[in-house]
Amino acid sequence: MNGILKSDGGFAEYMIASHYALVHLPDNLSFEQAAPLMCAGATVWNAIRQINLEKGKTIAIVGIGGLGVLGIQFAKALGYRVAAIDKSDIGLKLAMEVPIPLRPDIIVSIDDPEAAQKLSDFTDEIGLAAAVVCTDDVPASDWTLHRLQPRGTCVVLGLPEQGFTFDAFNLVFREIIVRGSLHSGIDEVTKMLEAVAENNIVSHLTLLPLEQGEKIPEMAAARAFKGKLVVTI
The average confidence (pLDDT) of the chain is: 92
Of the listed ranges 91-95, 148-152, 209-213, 220-224, the least confidently predicted one is: 220-224
For residue 209, CA distances in Å to 65, 98, 231 come to: 22, 26, 6
Q: Is a pLDDT exceeding 60 seen at residue 3?
A: no
Q: What fold is seen in the domain 36-180?
A: Rossmann fold (3.40.50)
Q: Is the pTM of this model over 0.85?
A: yes
**pLDDT at 217 exceeding the cut of 90:** no
pLDDT, residue 5, reads: 66
Over 80: is that where the pLDDT of 62 sits? yes
The full set of domain ranges for the chain reads 36-180, 203-233
pLDDT in tens, 173-207: 999 999 999 889 899 999 999 999 999 999 988 89
DSSP calls for the chain:
-TTTSS-S-TT-SS----GGG--PPPTT--HHHHGGGGTHHHHHHHHHHHH-PPTT-EEEEES-SHHHHHHHHHHHHTT-EEEEEESSHHHHHHHHHSPTTSS-SEEEETTSTTHHHHHHHHTTTS-EEEEEE-S--HHHHHHHHTTEEEEEEEEE----TT-----HHHHHHTT-EEEE-----HHHHHHHHHHHHHHT----EEEEEGGGGGGHHHHHHTT--SSEEEEE-
Using 50, 70 and 90 to split pLDDT, how confident is the model at 111?
very high
Mean pLDDT for 210-226 is: 85
Dump pLDDT digits (tens) for 117-168.
999 999 999 999 999 999 999 999 999 999 999 999 999 999 999 999 999 9
